[in-house]
């Protein structure tokens, strides 16, 4: 019986290490980006393993306590109180992007073509404000910036600490400039 318990303890330690690693990748900037991206917060359907922060504490950034749903806080509490800000992973962000109906409609296929995403990423990087931000951004920050750009036409303004709506150039105008 002792050996079984030791094995279970080691598994729990490994799971805890994974969550600690996930939490360590969260920057103050990323937490603020998530908290102020109402569009992304509306996607959240809490699941065990999701990371979140209290709506009362998100402004503390990296000093705020990061919760793991189902470990640090019950999924029931998260669903019923509504008092938490979801901190999606890069996988969460791209999964939503790939399943987004508007994008599927634009590509005309069930899913998004790699070519379409590469073109969008190129357009994303050509935005002057984006180029400045990407140079100093973490991967989760770049992912949320890209998703907000593609789906909502917004970019992150580091100076104000807010998402701002931009006019995306028409694809035909881009092609004319290249010719």
Copy the structure tokens of residue 123: 């357009």
The Cα–Cα gap between 25 and 31 comes to: 11
Q: Domain coordinates of the chain in residue numbers? A: 1-87, 89-179
DSSP 3-state assignment of 27?
coil
pLDDT at 12: 46
pLDDT at 104: 52
Copy the structure tokens of residue 63: 């000093």
How does pLDDT run across 122-173, given as a tens digit for each residue? Answer: 888 777 667 666 667 788 898 898 899 888 999 888 888 899 998 755 544 5
The Cα–Cα gap between 88 and 26 comes to: 10
pLDDT at 7: 46
| DSSP labels, 106-147 | HHTSSS--HHHHHHHHHHHHHSHHHHHHHTT--HHHHHHHHH
Report the candidate in 126, 108, 128 with the shortest Cα–Cα distance to residue 173. Answer: 126
pLDDT at 4: 54
Per run of 10 residues, the mean pLDDT along the chain (length 179 residues) is 49 54 75 94 91 87 83 89 91 82 53 71 76 74 90 89 78 48
């Amino acid at each position: 019986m002792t050996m079984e318990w030791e094995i279970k303890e080691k598994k729990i330690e490994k799971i805890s290490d994974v969550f600690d690693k996930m939490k360590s990748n969260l920057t103050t900037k990323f937490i603020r980006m998530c908290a102020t991206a109402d569009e992304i917060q509306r996607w959240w359907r809490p699941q065990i393993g999701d990371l979140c922060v209290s709506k009362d504490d998100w402004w503390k950034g990296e000093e705020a306590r990061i919760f793991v749903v189902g470990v640090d806080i019950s999924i029931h509490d998260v669903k019923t109180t509504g008092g938490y800000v979801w901190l999606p992973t890069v996988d969460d962000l791209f999964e939503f992007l790939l399943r987004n109906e508007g994008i599927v409609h634009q590509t005309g296929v069930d899913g998004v073509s790699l070519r379409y995403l590469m073109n969008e990423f190129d357009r994303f990087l050509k935005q002057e404000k984006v180029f400045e931000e990407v140079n100093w951004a973490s991967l989760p920050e770049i992912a949320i910036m890209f998703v907000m750009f593609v789906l909502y036409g917004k970019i992150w303004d580091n100076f104000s600490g807010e998402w701002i709506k931009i006019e995306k150039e028409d694809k035909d105008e881009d092609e004319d400039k290249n010719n």
